[in-house]
Amino acid sequence: MITFYPGPSKVYPQVEQYMQDAYHSGILSVNHRSDVFMQMLKGTIDVLKLKLDIPSDYEVYFVSSATECWEIIAQSLIARSGLHIYNGAFGEKWMEYSQKIRPESNGFSFNLNEIPEIEQLGIHAEHEVICVTHNETSNGTALSTEFLTDLRRYTAKIIAVDATSSMAGSALPWTTADVWFASVQKCFGLPAGLGVMVVSPDAIRKAESVADKSFYNSFLFMRDNFQKFQTPYTPNVLGIYLVGRVMEQVLPISEIAVDIRKRAEEWYTFLSENGFELAVQNEEVRSDTVIAVQADREKITQIKSMAKLAGIQLGNGYGQWKDSSFRIANFPAITETEISLLKNFLFNISA
C-alpha cells in the first residue's frame, strides 16, 4: 500500500536499515545519562540544526509529540493568557488545551480562504504568547512568510508556531517566531513518538520569568537537561537516533522546500485541470505539504475506496471536513513514482 496519509505518513525506506543499525550499535541499551547517549543526542541536534537551517542561537529539545508542546507552552510560557489564531481543527484543539491550563486564553478564528488582518487579531496587553498554526493539516492551508514577518514586526510578544506538518518540508522563517514545534511522523518521514521543539533566546527569557518548575516537562527543567545533552526522563532513544540518521541523509531544507513547492504547484494544477475541486480557493493560502480536495460525501467515499483497491491510501478529511474532503500528503519521503501512480489513478477515475 502506498500511503498519502498526512500523518502518520510514509517513512523513508532507509529507516529499515537505520533501525537495524541502531540495534547493532548498542545505543538502544545504553543509559541515557552516559557519554555515548549524550554524544548521540548532541550529534542529532547539530545535524538537525544544520539541515533545517536553524539559527545558531535557537535551542532544540526533543519531547514526545506536538501535543506535548501545546501543554509545555501553556504551562511554562503563559502565566495567565495566550491568544490563539486559527482557521482549522488543529489550531482550535491547541486553544482548547491551553484554555484547560490557562482559562483566560482566548482565540481569534478566521476563514479558510482568508489572510487575517494583523490589526484585527485582537492582540491585547494581557496576551503573553501569540499561538499560530503554520500549516493547518486539517484543511490544507498555510500561513505565508509574509504574514509571519508582519506579525513579528507588529508585536514583541512571544510567538509560538505549530509547524507539525511543515517542519522539514518547508523552509521556515525561524526568526519570525520564538517557539516552533513539530512531530516527526509528518515531513520528517519517521515513525511517530517524538516531538521537536525549537526555541529562541526570547522564549528562554520568557520561561525564566514565568519560572514554572512544577512538571516533569516544565520548560526550564527540560532546558537544564538538554544543556547537558540529557533529557528529563528516559527518552525515545531510537526515535532520536533515527532523526539523526534521516537528517544526515536528506538534502538541506532550502533544496527540499523548492522541490516540495514545485510538487505542490503541480498537484494544484493537475487537480484543477482534471475536474477535482480544491478545498482552498485562495491560491495564496494553499499549503505546500498538505493538499485538500473536496467533493460530496458519496464521491469522497467512492474515490477513497477505489484508491484502496488500487493500493493507494488517501488521507481522510479531518474535523468539520471529515466526510467532504480527502487529503494528499506532499511530504519529502514520497517519491515521484508514487506521485505518478496517484495522478494516473485520479486521471483515470476523472475521465
Ligand X SMILES: *Cc1c(COP(=O)(O)O)cnc(C)c1O
165 versus 200: smaller Cβ distance to ligand X: 165
Of 5-34, binders to ligand X (CB under 6 A) are: 7
**Taking the chain, what is the end-to-end CA distance rounded to the nearest angstrom?**
24
Is 164 near ligand X (CB under 6 A)?
yes
137 versus 330: smaller Cβ distance to ligand X: 137
**Distances from the Cα of 217 to the Cαs of 65, 81, 172, in angstroms?**
12, 20, 25
User: Which of these ranges, 65-73, 74-82, 120-128, 171-179, lies near ligand X under the rule CB under 6 A?
Assistant: 65-73
164 versus 325: smaller Cβ distance to ligand X: 164
290 versus 300: smaller Cβ distance to ligand X: 290
CB of 85 to ligand X, least distance (A): 13
134 versus 206: smaller Cβ distance to ligand X: 134
CB of 350 to ligand X, least distance (A): 28
Rounded distance, CA 194 to CA 186, Å?
11
CB of 307 to ligand X, least distance (A): 21
CB of 69 to ligand X, least distance (A): 8
Is 133 near ligand X (CB under 6 A)?
yes
Work out the burial of residue 162: count CB atoms within 10 Å of its CB; fewer than 13 is exposed, 13-18 middle, 19 or more buried.
buried
Here the contacts of 212-219 (C-beta below 8 Å, separation 24 or greater) are: 212/75, 212/76, 214/75, 215/75, 215/76, 217/63, 217/68, 217/71, 217/72, 217/75, 218/72, 218/75, 218/76, 219/72, 219/75, 219/76, 219/77
- SS3 letters for 236-291? CHHHHHHHHHHHHHCCCHHHHHHHHHHHHHHHHHHHHHCCCEECCCCHHHECCCEE
Work out the burial of residue 188: count CB atoms within 10 Å of its CB; fewer than 13 is exposed, 13-18 middle, 19 or more buried.
buried
27 versus 329: smaller Cβ distance to ligand X: 329
User: Which of these ranges, 27-35, 109-117, 162-170, 330-338, lies near ligand X under the rule CB under 6 A?
Assistant: 162-170
Is 183 near ligand X (CB under 6 A)?
yes
Is 66 near ligand X (CB under 6 A)?
yes
Instruction: Decide: 289 and 253 in contact? Cβ < 8 Å.
Output: no
Is 200 near ligand X (CB under 6 A)?
no
User: Which of these ranges, 37-45, 63-71, 140-148, 239-247, lies near ligand X under the rule CB under 6 A?
Assistant: 63-71
Amino acid at 8: P
Is 4 near ligand X (CB under 6 A)?
no
CB of 148 to ligand X, least distance (A): 15
What is the SS3 assignment for 311?
coil
CB of 66 to ligand X, least distance (A): 4
User: Which of these ranges, 51-59, 160-168, 206-214, 222-230, lies near ligand X under the rule CB under 6 A?
Assistant: 160-168
Please give the full DSSP string across 204-248, using - where no structure is assigned. HHHHHHH----STT-HHHHHHHHHTT--SS---HHHHHHHHHHHH
Is 137 near ligand X (CB under 6 A)?
yes
176 versus 289: smaller Cβ distance to ligand X: 289
Which residues sit at the interface with ligand X, rule CB under 6 A?
Answer: 7, 65-67, 90, 133, 137, 162, 164-165, 183
